[in-house]
Amino acid sequence: MEVANESTAKKPKRLTSVVWNHFERVKKADICYAVCVHCNKKLSGSSNSGTTHLRNHLMRCLKRSNYDVSQLLAVKRRKKENTLTIANISYDEGQRKEDYMKPTIVKYEQDQRKDEAFNLGSSWFDPERSRLDLARMIILHGYPLAMVEHVGFKVFVKNMQPLFDVVHNSTIELSCVEIYMKEKQRIYDMLSKLQGRINLAIEMWSSPENSKYVCLTAHYVDDEWKLQKKILNFLTLDSSHTEDMLSDVIIKCLMDWDIDCKLFSMTFDDCSTNDDIVLRIKDQISESRPRLSNGQLLDVRSAAHVLNSIAQDAIEALQVVIQKIRGSVKYVKSSQSILGKFNEISQQQGINNHKIVVLDYPIRWNSTYMMLETAVEYRNVFHHLPELDPDFALSDEEWKRASSIVSYLKLLIEIINVFSSNKCPTANIYFPEICHVHIQLIEWCKSSDAFLSSLATKMKAKFDKYWSKCSLGLAVAAILDPRFKMKLVEYYYSQIYGSTALERIKEASDGIKELFNAYSICSTLIDQGSALPGSSLPSSSNDTRDKLKGFDKFLHETSQSQTAISDLEKYLDEPMFPRNCDFNILNWWRVHTPRYPILSMMARDVLGTPMSTVAQEFAFNAGGRILDSNQSSLPPDTRQALICTRDWLRTQSDDATPSSSHYALPLYVEAN
């Protein structure tokens, strides 16, 4: 209906409702009307009529409008009297008021579903999708759930999309859990179809409140021969949990994910983990696994953790010297004049070092190394500082020990960096690095300095415990590297074991043959239709429920032709692949799968074993892995949902961006 002979009414008072962004108020005689600027429909504009009917019309009108939403929002922007006022936010007087507008608040009609997508001409708005997008953003970037209650966030969202109802904290929490459940089902389906086996990393966490957590992460090589990892569980351990209960928790998680029969190895982050925990888990799953070489390939300890631990031994032994050096550095950095004096003496001593003395951050031991390294280089300068407190002065013997410890720490840092910075840390990279540490520890124990030899002996005792558990797994992974095969084991074992090297080399050779035979039997069963790819390896342990279980092995061994050459024999006899820096071992095995069908199955599982569990950001943390207060204050189920889903979503993001880091951390700390 046309509105004729009307004049715009003078506003007796300011129109504060946001609906007036889309209506003009006109007056005819004593009656006020509100005319829609989009369709010219006339509605009651009396102050006694309220604005609910105007909002209802706005929704209906928007559904039929050809306006883009950005055009609708711009209708009232040019009006100078419209300024943004939310929660008493005040803007600088110098800002132009016309630069702001009121966020349009639109209510839904009673019969309208909130999850309905609105067609705004050339734009579509789906409230449900926007709610889930917000939840994904919070999960992906580790934002606190409470951010949806922040005024600044509400202002931003309302100005960006007035039709979106900002949800409450509890609502977004439910949305996050909803995403978690959908993603969990997707991961479950993927793992159930996986052709290879699962390697489980078990890591302990804590919080500032001393709460304890256990993080279970699946590592595997997928069907495209790419190394993958997925956090499966992040569980809260209450104070009543004992080590017995921890093994039960781990077993339950394996069964919940239905991967207990797919398990190939378990990697624990602490070499001091009670062996009884491992034994209890072994006993529970032994019926579906081979008992290989006393289970050495099942029980793996994190390489980076043992190196961190022996580094802590070195720092603890040098604590008195470190305190003196720390005091000296603090004195030098206490004022510009003292620092200037220090630099002047450096030049006089002929030290043309561009490094500056730095204080350490004790919780990160690599920073202590940097402080010691620099201080050792400036030792003569510290001697010539006349005002230096005598309590900070080091003797020549102390400087000598500090220099030796610096060389120890430097080696450990270099090797940990190799482990933690590698974007595709397949198991084959660890053997030469760990062997090098082993050789150096043997040499350090021979030191003529009683202090250093005693320290090295303590470090080697801790290393030997790790070596006894992991040496076979490390060696098998190295043998499966076509650039080295048995030759690398022979090279290092001759240096480590000397006259007994041949016995140790034979142990490694027998170990890989035993594992290969287990895979050969499994392959035979698959060919006969009595087993499925990716199912558990046949157990060599006695099972009273199946007296003929050993018959499968007997049948396999006796049916082999005496002249037949196995995959393993063929692989070991052929020339080694040339060494080069661009070598991709997983790609090599993918290409050579037709040539070594059984051995490639074994290589996929062995190379996917996580020989170390420390991410680069936490490689040198002395205090362990600690959640922030935002994460630790959440309910246990919500915390697990957020941490696991964040890992899964970040992995998807990394897959879309090849240059991204392979790892996704279960932390509040950003990986990028």
Residues paired with 219 in a beta bridge: 199, 229
- In whole angstroms, what is the distance from residue 199 CA to residue 217 CA? 8
pLDDT at 87 > cutoff 80: no
When pLDDT is averaged across residues 647-662 and rounded to a whole number, the result is 60
Most confident by average pLDDT, 278-292, 556-570, 579-593:
579-593
Note whether 66 and 121 are within 8 A (CB).
yes
Q: 3-state SS of 279-321?
A: HHHHHHHHHHCCCCHHHCCCEEECHHHHHHHHHHHHHHHCHHH
Q: What is the pLDDT of residue 527?
A: 56
- CA angle 239-242-246, nearest 5°? 105
- In whole angstroms, what is the distance from residue 439 CA to residue 463 CA? 11
Report residue 363's pLDDT band, with 50, 70 and 90 as the boundaries. confident
Most confident by average pLDDT, 29-33, 283-287, 594-598, 613-617:
594-598
- % pLDDT > 70, the chain: 75
pLDDT tens digits, residue range 585-604? 999 999 999 999 999 999 99
Note whether 247 and 235 are within 8 A (CB).
no
Q: What is the pLDDT of residue 137?
A: 93
Q: What is the pLDDT of residue 169?
A: 84
Neighbours of 645 (CB within 10 A): 24
pLDDT at 80 > cutoff 50: no
When pLDDT is averaged across residues 562-580 and rounded to a whole number, the result is 83
pLDDT at 562 > cutoff 70: no
Sign, Cα dihedral of 627, 633, 637, 643: negative
- In whole angstroms, what is the distance from residue 96 CA to residue 77 CA? 12
Residue, of 261 and 602, whose pLDDT is higher: 602
Q: What is the pLDDT of residue 547?
A: 63
pLDDT at 417 > cutoff 70: yes
Report residue 14's pLDDT band, with 50, 70 and 90 as the boundaries. low
pLDDT at 667 > cutoff 50: no
Residues recorded for the chain: 672
- In whole angstroms, what is the distance from residue 217 CA to residue 345 CA? 54
Report residue 286's pLDDT band, with 50, 70 and 90 as the boundaries. low
Tell me the whole-structure pTM to 2 decimals. Answer: 0.74
Q: What is the pLDDT of residue 160?
A: 84
CB-neighbour burial class of residue 362 (10 A; exposed 0-12, middle 13-18, buried 19+):
middle
pLDDT averaged over every residue in the chain:
79
Q: What is the pLDDT of residue 521?
A: 81
Least confident window among 174-188, 210-224, 542-556: 542-556
- In whole angstroms, what is the distance from residue 446 CA to residue 455 CA? 11
In three-state secondary structure terms, 401 is: helix
Residue, of 629 and 375, whose pLDDT is higher: 375
The closest alpha carbon to 102, from 210, 14, 221, belongs to 14
The closest alpha carbon to 420, from 669, 670, 662, 668, belongs to 662
| 548: phi then psi, degrees, rounded to nearest 5 | -100, 15
- % pLDDT > 90, the chain: 40
Q: Tokens 């001697």 map to which residue?
A: 383
Note whether 214 and 245 are within 8 A (CB).
no
606: left (phi over 0), alpha (psi -120 to 50) or beta: alpha
End-to-end CA separation in angstroms for the chain: 60
Q: What is the pLDDT of residue 254?
A: 92
- In whole angstroms, what is the distance from residue 115 CA to residue 123 CA? 16
pLDDT at 111 > cutoff 90: no
pLDDT tens digits, residue range 197-234? 999 999 988 888 888 899 999 999 999 999 999 999 99
- In whole angstroms, what is the distance from residue 222 CA to residue 382 CA? 56
Q: Which amino acid is at 229?
A: K
Q: What is the DSSP letter of 117?
A: P
238: its two tokens: 């209450």
448: its two tokens: 């003529």
Sign, Cα dihedral of 146, 149, 150, 153: positive
Q: What is the DSSP letter of 498?
A: G
Q: What is the pLDDT of residue 72?
A: 43
179: its two tokens: 């995403």
When pLDDT is averaged across residues 413-441 and rounded to a whole number, the result is 92
Report residue 655's pLDDT band, with 50, 70 and 90 as the boundaries. low
Task: Give kind and range of the element (H or E) at residue 69.
Answer: helix 69-74
When pLDDT is averaged across residues 443-472 and rounded to a whole number, the result is 93
